[in-house]
Amino acid sequence: MKIFISGMIPESGIEMLKKEGCEVEVWSGKQLSEKELIDKCKDADGYINVMTPVTANFLKQSSHLKVISTFSVGFNHIDLSTATQLGIPVGNTPDVLSNATADVAFLLMLNVSRKAFYNYSKIRTGNWNQGFDAVSHLGQELNGKTLGIFGMGRIGIKMAEKCKGAYGMNIIYHNRNRHEQAEKELGAVYVSFDELLKQSDILSLHAPLSDDNKGLFNKHVFEKMKPNAILVNTARGAMVNEEDLVEALKNQQIWGAGLDVTDPEPIPKDHPLLTMESVAITPHIGSATVEARNAMSDLCAKNILAGLKGEKLPCVVNPEVYK
């Protein structure tokens, strides 16, 4: 069986596939175009996708694929309905990256609250002009603040646990469904979207990108937030209107923003967000720990091996394919 992988991934999953007799090709160049991808997958039985768009056209031209696994928990880059129509099961890598991603949300929150990246860049560029300064570099404390979670899923609850444990924060959340565990164990309170905006000192985004939330965090939303609020996004950049975010920060409608995801990625070098005082940006490193990435690699291999055998994938995102 032939497996094509559209980017470098940790060896452990590749080894697992090889042990089962698969022939594996790993692409190590720059991101492939749709045409190149179709060509690469023309003899493949399985495909591990590393954040490359999986379009309807690609799927139609590659309908021989027995299985696809994305090296991510998010699957907004995959045309799932076409995959399902063509009978191709698609897998992803949930759970194993939740802790690592929540760590980055926490890191961004704390970083922004103390303007850490901004102050560090002042040192690096030779602009730390006065030793101890009693009236500048001032941040805000996090103890007892209210954390609002938009999307209380596997990653959202980890962020809530960390914030409750470290700072005794009050947790509120907005989600499609109520989250019993969060309510019982963390005392999290379900609120409407407007209440979430109104009450959150830190608003952390953890929902999957959808048509409903694309661009949702725009000027109308920022207007409803607290002036001391910090927006944290480790989900998908497209949920936030970055032009409106710049304006909201300039006008002090909100206090700061910590972003692990931007739209586009990479963010342009001259983007105004990069020089703002209470902004911290990291390059989509939510799941970038050795532990999480190894586990993602293994999970991709398990998805692929199950798909090749015609078994249900351990983590399938289009279960309708089995109906």
CB 279 within 8 A of CB 256: yes
Smallest distance, ligand DGY to C-beta of residue 187, A? 29
Q: Site residues for ligand DGY, window 157-186 (CB under 6 A)?
A: none
Tokens of 252: 């002090």
Q: Site residues for ligand DGY, window 283-302 (CB under 6 A)?
A: 286-287
What is the per-residue burial (b if ≥16 Cβ within 10 Å, else e) of 144-158?
A: ebbbbbbbbbbbbbb
Annotated active-site residue in 11, 23, 265, 311: 265
* Residue nearer to ligand DGY on the CB measure, 237 or 272: 237
Asked if 209 touches ligand DGY (CB under 6 A), the answer is no
Annotated active-site residue in 114, 236, 242, 293: 236
* Residue nearer to ligand DGY on the CB measure, 262 or 287: 287
One of 49, 52, 72, 204 touching ligand DGY (CB under 6 A): 72
**Residue 174 annotated among the catalytic residues of the structure:** no
CB 278 within 8 A of CB 118: yes
**Residue 293 annotated among the catalytic residues of the structure:** no
* Run of H or E including 159: helix 154-167
Asked if 240 touches ligand DGY (CB under 6 A), the answer is no
Identify residue 162 by its one-letter amino acid code: K
The number of helices, as runs of H, and strands, as runs of E, in the chain is 12, 12
* Run of H or E including 98: helix 98-113
**Residue with tokens 């495909």, as numbered in its chain:** 47
Query: DSSP for 130-141?
Result: SSS-SSSS----
**CA–CA gap between residue 47 and residue 24 (Å, rounded):** 10
CB 176 within 8 A of CB 156: no
Asked if 73 touches ligand DGY (CB under 6 A), the answer is yes
One of 2, 12, 40, 51 touching ligand DGY (CB under 6 A): 51
Q: Site residues for ligand DGY, window 87-106 (CB under 6 A)?
A: 97
* Residue nearer to ligand DGY on the CB measure, 88 or 97: 97
**Residue 180 annotated among the catalytic residues of the structure:** no
Catalytic amino acids? 236, 265, 284
List contacts with ligand DGY (CB under 6 A). Answer: 51, 72-74, 97, 286-287
